[in-house]
Chains A and B, each alone.
Chain A
Amino acid sequence: MASLTLQGSAHRYGANINTDEIIPARYLNTSDPDELAKHCMEDLDKDFMKKLKPGDFIVAEQNFGCGSSREHAPIAIKKAGVSAIIASTFARIFFRNAINIGLPILECPAAVKNIKSGDVLSIDLTAGTIKNVTRSEVYQAQPFPPFMQDIIKQGGLLNYLKRR
């Protein structure tokens, strides 16, 4: 497996960031990724889309993505340009949805504890290592089972199923 390295800055949030904050229901009368991305994280952080540069990371505490099953949430985040999410834990439906659409996510409480907003990170997805370039620290996330890594690499569940 070729290793996949991502680089960008961290945008740090708290615990229980829910799908209503990630993409409010008032925008769910469409499933157009570009339209959804415009409103990404709007009710949590009005300036999120202004601050975000393509390739950046969301770093959050436990239970990220709790609430609704709307896949519009990880779609909005992916299309907004976020290259991966690091959280202490993820809510289970968000976890599934992110894997299924090929949005990389990492569970790593140690990273979440130490990373501050603006820190530059470099992530090796295959190894599950998160390098904090700003603070010269390295954190190790629990790597996902190979079949999940494979789904992410294929760009989502459907590509993965097609190939099988």
Chain B
Amino acid sequence: MGQTITEKILAAHCGVKSVKAGEFIEPKIDIALGNDVTSPLAIKEFRQVGAKKVFDRSKVVLVMDHFTPNKDIDSAEQVKFVRTFAREQKLVHYYEGGNCGVEHALLPEQGIVVPGDLVIGADSHTCTYGAMGAFSSGAGSTDLCAAMITGKIWLKVPKTIKFVYTGKLNTWVGGKDLILYTIGKIGVDGALYQAMEFTGPVIEKLSMSDRFTMANMAIEAGGKNGIIAPDKQTLAYMKGRGKRAGKIFQSDPDATYADIIEIDCSKIVPQVAVPFLPSNAKTARSLNAIEIDQVVVGSCTNGRIEDLRLAASIIKGKKVHSRVRMLVIPATPQIYSAALKEGLLEIFMKAGAIISAPTCGPCLGGHMGILASGERCVATTNRNFVGRMGHPKSEVYLANPAVATASAITGKIIDPSQLK
């Protein structure tokens, strides 16, 4: 009987030919990831159980991205605690300061994750790497601790839902709109405990950047992982990045799926998920009356160079509305540098936008753009829960970079095609 790509990767990491959905397994992992919020707890536990060494100093990756540059004394103490551990363990991949970016943009860019990997990260958006044909899934700090010590994790093999994207993409529609539309269709627990496999002619043509955006938000539908089979584009992206070769897996034609959902993309126009769930997808056009106070272009979802190019192409020669603060957050130093060279940062500054250092910052209501009560933000981020970006009475609207930037110009939510 055929297997899905997810089952094949999991089986390979158990050293067996096949695994079945529902089976409990203890696979080996290629990368264990933590950040400045989740790794302090994991390291505390590491010390408590008396562990001495991580299982492999080149496979534990710690990225200090949430509250950095450190927003207060407590955050600085947390990072100091992690830094001490990273030095003591001689970790190859410790990121803080000038080499640091938003983890899920940074790891693929630096070639740390390769196709066919099994990645466990103490961050829910670890599912991002599925875009490269890896199995990657979020876990907690205790899981990270156990993974750092043993190099393994307990998992239940998930069932897979296959999504087939067909039709032609409309103007201003990208990966963000496809995934918001999908979550809107199946709900925030529509893929609970399951793998989301994104396939179809539209996905085959989609850029890696858009693929990362889609896999990134699998967790917002409750998914265990999001995954896209590697193809020519994946290999082209990997060129010159990964030191490890990686392994290409594909689903068998006769693989078993829990469900197959076909989505006709020609029906999808730019989407906005309104408060307070990522599944509240509406068309941007239907929300034209909503006045906004802030726009954020950035995050592990949409902070890549392609996203900044798109935003810059819309705001070039125009101004951010006087009522709005627009924050642009290149997700990594490499993206920042590219945006500088390409003149994008100048376009943003001339328009009156604010450029921030790479950080998760406002996405999780950490720092660098927190909302007051009653304030509304259109963000290219991934969550719009109550209080996500600040005050419990503030609101976050999720959108693609084109919608967010167009809205920054008009001060109201707008579909970019409505811009004059």
Q: A-side interface residues toward B, CB under 8 Å?
A: 16, 18, 20-21, 24-26, 28-31, 43-44, 62-63, 66-72, 75, 89, 91-93, 96-97, 100-101, 145, 147, 156-158, 161-162
Type the 1/0 row for B374-390, where 1 means its CB is closer than 8 Å to any CB of A: 00000000010111100
Residues of B contacting A24 in the complex (Cβ-Cβ under 8 angstroms): 365, 387, 392
Nearest first, the 8 A-B pairs at minimum CB distance are: A97-B140, A29-B74, A100-B142, A71-B140, A63-B189, A20-B385, A69-B124, A25-B364
User: Which of A29, A43, A72 is B67 in contact with, Cβ under 8 Å?
Assistant: A29
Residues of A contacting B44 in the complex (Cβ-Cβ under 8 angstroms): 31
- In the complex with contacts A69-B140, A162-B49, A20-B383 CB distance below 8 A: yes
Q: Does residue B395 face the partner (Cβ distance < 8 Å to A)? A: no
- Extra A-B contacts (19), CB below 8 Å, given A20-B387, A97-B141: A21-B386, A21-B387, A28-B37, A28-B366, A31-B41, A43-B387, A62-B189, A63-B189, A69-B123, A70-B37, A71-B38, A71-B41, A71-B141, A75-B41, A92-B192, A92-B222, A93-B124, A93-B139, A97-B143
Residues of A contacting B188 in the complex (Cβ-Cβ under 8 angstroms): 16, 63, 66
Residues 121-138 of B contacting A (Cβ, < 8 Å): 121-124, 126, 138
Asked if B143 and A44 sit within 8 Å, CB to CB, the answer is no
**Of all chain A residues, which has the CB nearest B75?**
A29
Asked if A43 and B386 sit within 8 Å, CB to CB, the answer is yes
Asked if A16 and B277 sit within 8 Å, CB to CB, the answer is yes
Residues 384-410 of B contacting A (Cβ, < 8 Å): 385-388, 392
Asked if B189 and A91 sit within 8 Å, CB to CB, the answer is yes
Residues of A contacting B40 in the complex (Cβ-Cβ under 8 angstroms): 31
Asked if A68 and B364 sit within 8 Å, CB to CB, the answer is yes
- In the complex with contacts A25-B366, A69-B138, A92-B383 CB distance below 8 A: no
- In the complex with contacts A63-B189, A145-B24, A25-B74 CB distance below 8 A: no
**Of all chain B residues, which has the CB nearest A94?**
B140
Asked if A157 and B189 sit within 8 Å, CB to CB, the answer is no
Residues of B contacting A25 in the complex (Cβ-Cβ under 8 angstroms): 37, 66, 364-366
- In the complex with contacts A43-B386, A66-B189, A161-B146, A96-B37 CB distance below 8 A: no
Query: What CA separation (Å) do A36 and B150 show in the bound complex?
Result: 29
Query: What CA separation (Å) do A30 and B143 show in the bound complex?
Result: 19
Query: What are 23 residue pairs bridging A and B, where the CB atoms are less than 8 Å apart in the complex?
Result: A16-B188, A20-B383, A20-B385, A20-B386, A20-B388, A24-B392, A28-B366, A29-B71, A30-B74, A31-B44, A66-B189, A69-B121, A69-B122, A69-B123, A75-B41, A91-B189, A97-B143, A100-B143, A100-B146, A147-B24, A157-B143, A157-B146, A158-B45
Query: What CA separation (Å) do A147 and B154 show in the bound complex?
Result: 11
Asked if B140 and A93 sit within 8 Å, CB to CB, the answer is yes
**Of all chain B residues, which has the CB nearest A24?**
B387
Query: What CA separation (Å) do A32 and B44 show in the bound complex?
Result: 11
- In the complex with contacts A16-B188, A25-B366, A67-B124 CB distance below 8 A: yes
Query: What CA separation (Å) do A69 and B139 show in the bound complex?
Result: 6
**Of all chain A residues, which has the CB nearest B149?**
A161
Asked if A158 and B383 sit within 8 Å, CB to CB, the answer is no
Q: Does residue B145 face the partner (Cβ distance < 8 Å to A)? A: yes
- Closest Cβ–Cβ distance, residue A48 to chain B (whole Å): 13
- In the complex with contacts A43-B387, A72-B41, A89-B189 CB distance below 8 A: yes
Residues of B contacting A145 in the complex (Cβ-Cβ under 8 angstroms): 24
Asked if A71 and B72 sit within 8 Å, CB to CB, the answer is no
